[in-house]
Amino acid sequence: MKKLWGGRFDGKNEDWIDAFGASIFFDQALAKQDILGSLAHVKMLVHTKILSQEEGQQIIDGLTIIQQKVANDELDYTVQNEDIHLNIESFLHEEIGPVAGKLHTARSRNDQVATDMHLYLKEKVQDILEKIHDLRKVLVTKAEENIETIMPGYTHLQHAQPISFAHHLLAYYQMLTRDQERLSENLKRIDCSPLGAAALAGTTFPIDREFAAKELGFGSVYANSLDAVSDRDFILEFLSNSSILMMHLSRFCEEIILWCSHEFQFVQLSDTFSTGSSIMPQKKNPDMAELIRGKTGRVYGDLFGLLTVMKGLPLAYNKDFQEDKEGMFDTVETVEKSLTIMSGMIASMQVNQKHMLESTEKDFSNATELADYLANKGIPFREAHEIVGKLVFSCIQKGIYLQDIPLEEYQSIVPTIEEDLYDKLSSYTAVKNRNSLGGTGFAQIEKQIEQAKQHL
């Protein structure tokens, strides 16, 4: 089969060389975008009178036929045609004959593939933003159901202070809000058309890049043709944002995995998001959470893979750019599936409210409440901190907790301590009273939920 670029060549590559250099195995995923870009390009060529109306309509009719075949998965791509661009052009030749060759006037595969990827990511990032929005809604709904659900708050994976479970969920809501903001900013760089930059230097044909950009729904065009064909920042930014997003999902999955364990027993996942063991009949494993945690690493790998490809490339286009797509496709698929699973997993998750509360009543997570109580009695906080530390040490030796110490013993240390101390030491009161801005107090959580609902 003669190469569409083969005029300058006399020899023929061996099949395995062709296969090594081909990208059609994966870039066929850009078929829809490639045809959209070609349709906009040919309309621009007609608009600028570079092609006649008749020639343009022939090409548009042929591309429309191929577009339908792509939608119906009826095309057989070939390695000999290397990539999606030459495969589509070859199909067009079969449909309409030699006039198909005029489609590539004032265009290069360099600006063509860049356009395809901008179109692809623009669509996919919008899909991902919708999935993030859905997950944020799930978190707010679950938080609203658990405003007064008390759980231990942790630092160093040690009981620290009691908090509302809703407060914990809303922390992830805030993380995902930042993820949504980052990807929305990313869209500004994605929404820029490289079409018309040609190979690297623009073209002598009187093209209208703004016309083509408008046809494709782009908000702007690249100001520099060298930059247009060599820029992959928009993909790197997407991969970076996706890595941060997956890190957030992974952290949450790690906590869910812990909460499902026999040691915690805070939550129970739906059977839909769990699996069993081939040898241990009692097992119910949080495999979907574990997979999201594991797949986070492959998204990191996609980012570092492209960073490594890019770090030594001179301007403008280099064949190395062929390595920019598989990681992008992989990250899109991984992020989309992970977000969908997270939404379903959290929405169907059962919360063991009773056990969560009990786990805050047999610990010393109320120690700060006692220190704050003493500080309100006029004792300097550092002195109060030392007093409480000694009391905790004494309780551990006796096998009791702060709320078990008799009032007389408290008063022997600080005479101004009163009966109301025991209410202050309860987990419920400790959480309810933390009403500083952004705190875990119920009133503050209600404000957070109301703000989230308005934002959503």
- Catalytic center residues: 156, 277
Among 2, 404, 371, which Cα is nearest to 161's?
Answer: 371
- By DSSP bridging, strand 220-221 and strand 267-268 are unpaired
Cβ-based burial of 36 (10 A; exposed 0-12, middle 13-18, buried ≥19):
buried
- Extract the tokens encoding 307: 């960073």
Q: What is the dihedral of CA 333, 334, 339, 344, to 10 degrees?
A: 90
CA 337 to CA 366: how far, in whole Å?
40
CA 179 to CA 190: how far, in whole Å?
16
The answer to whether 93 touches 69, Cβ cutoff 8 Å, is: no
Own/partner pairs, 176-180, CB within 8 angstroms, 24+ separation: 176/132, 176/135, 176/136, 176/139, 176/245, 176/248, 177/136, 177/455, 179/132, 179/241, 179/244, 179/245, 179/248, 180/129, 180/132, 180/133, 180/136
SS3 (DSSP) at 204:
coil
CA pseudo-torsion sign 151, 152, 155, 161: positive
CA 418 to CA 413: how far, in whole Å?
12
- Extract the tokens encoding 74: 């009826």
CA 273 to CA 292: how far, in whole Å?
12
- Alpha carbon 285 to chain centroid, angstroms: 24
Termini Cα distance of the chain: 55
Question: Whose structure tokens read 């801005």?
Answer: 437
CA 298 to CA 376: how far, in whole Å?
51
Give the side-chain half-sphere CA count within 13 A for 219: 6
Rg (CA), the chain: 31
The answer to whether 106 touches 207, Cβ cutoff 8 Å, is: yes
